[in-house]
Amino acid sequence: MRTLHARPHAWKLREPFAIARGVRSEARVVIVELHEDGRVGRGEAGGVGYHGETPESMLAQIEQVRPALERGCDRHELLRLLPAGGARHALDAALWDLEAKQSGVPAWTRAGIAHWRPVDSAVTIGIRDIAAYEATARAHADYPWLKIKVGKGSPLEAVAAVRRGAPRARLIVDANQSWSVEELRAYVPALQPFAVDLLEQPVAVAHGDGLRGYDGAIPVCADEALSTHEDLAGLVGCYQFVNIKLDKTGGLTAALELAAAARAAGFRLMVGCMLGGSVSVAPGMVLAQLCEVCDLDGPWLQAEDWPGGIVYQHGRMSMPAPAVWG
């Protein structure tokens, strides 16, 4: 007999997290548990706030499929029962975890990953004043990847400050849709001296066609512009990378399918996450085995996390304890 438990939770962040869309001081998530034959499968999701998702809306979706989950539905049936989004991600993760615990086979093996490699995540520097950008970068100068959140104001100064603080780190610049296409084209040559590796969703989704034929020296990655495989066709010729987030795809099962489709369409792959604890991010570490760029620092941004959760050592991630997930 399988039983489902679902609840909201709020993780306190170590500092206010500021991006172009606003500031947050906590990560609000839903946590689900599937209990069956003495084993517990766990899932967690923060949802997609810019799609209007909240813990309350996700919990309502979870309740709609409670009978099917408790009756024993699997991950593939779940794809038909719920749309892409945070609720499905939480339940999909719990089913992956339950399968791993029942079979004794780790989730990454069940996902078809032949050889596990270490996962190095970018860590994010949220929007702050220029001196604080440099100081924060200096404190993390030995991390392999830093991601710089910027808005419309002074993005070049922010990137320059981070580069002064961390001369060797690889850099992602994320404007969260706050630049115009014209600003992007002006910024790219100015950013080249700072050795920026990737520009993440610099322009509004609605203006993505303005990137068609983009041949700038810094590749551009679709984030908010991509949720599911249905979005891929419209991104061809505009973006070079796609950022796959499990809250958007509705879980690891759909994300693995999206990754294969994106590769077939010629995109390079990045994996990202929403704010949330180790259980929300751990399935993304499986997907990270297929990606060039990894940004799974949600738990690192928190002041608290699951006991036995992911440990970050200068950006390198450990899988959580098997009793926690996977």
Q: What is the CATH number of the domain that holds 10?
A: 3.30.390.10
Residue numbers of the domain that contains 80: 2-104
Q: pTM for this structure?
A: 0.95
Q: Which residue is it, tokens 């209990």?
A: 35
pLDDT single digits (tens) 224-249: 999 999 999 999 999 999 999 999 99
Is the separation of the CB atoms in 243 and 221 below 8 Å? yes
Is 164 found in the same domain as 43? no
- Is residue 110 in a domain? no
pLDDT at 152: 86
Binding-site members are 174, 200, 223
The count of other CB atoms within 10 Å of the CB of residue 250 is 27
**Which parts of the chain register pLDDT below 70?**
18, 20
Q: How many domains does the chain have?
A: 2
Task: Specify whether 28 is located in the same domain as 123.
Answer: no
Identify which of 216, 182, 224, 180 has the alpha carbon closest to the alpha carbon of residue 198: 216
Residues 147 and 84 in one domain: no
Distance CA 79, CA 8 (A): 22
246, 155: one domain? yes
C-alpha span between 307 and 315 (Å, rounded) = 19
Q: Is 248 a catalytic residue?
A: no
Of 101, 147, 245, 248, catalytic: 245
Active site residue 149: yes
> What is the rounded radius of gyration, in angstroms, for the C-alpha atoms of the chain?
19
Binding-site residue positions for Mg(2+): 174, 200, 223
The answer to the question of residue 140 being in a domain is yes
Assigned domain for 12 exists: yes
CATH of residue 289's domain is 3.20.20.120
Concatenate the DSSP letters of all residues of 189-251 into one string.
Answer: HHHGGGTEEEEES-B-GGGGGGGTT---SS-EEESTT-SSGGGGGGGTTT-SEEEEEHHHHTS
Annotated catalytic residue within 12, 149, 152, 248: 149
Sign of CA dihedral 174, 176, 181, 187: negative
CA–CA gap between residue 127 and residue 211 (Å, rounded): 25
Does residue 326 fall inside a structural domain? no
Q: Do 198 and 174 meet the contact criterion of CB atoms below 8 Å apart?
A: no
- The answer as to whether 109 is a domain residue is no
Residue that is last in its domain, among 47, 79, 104: 104
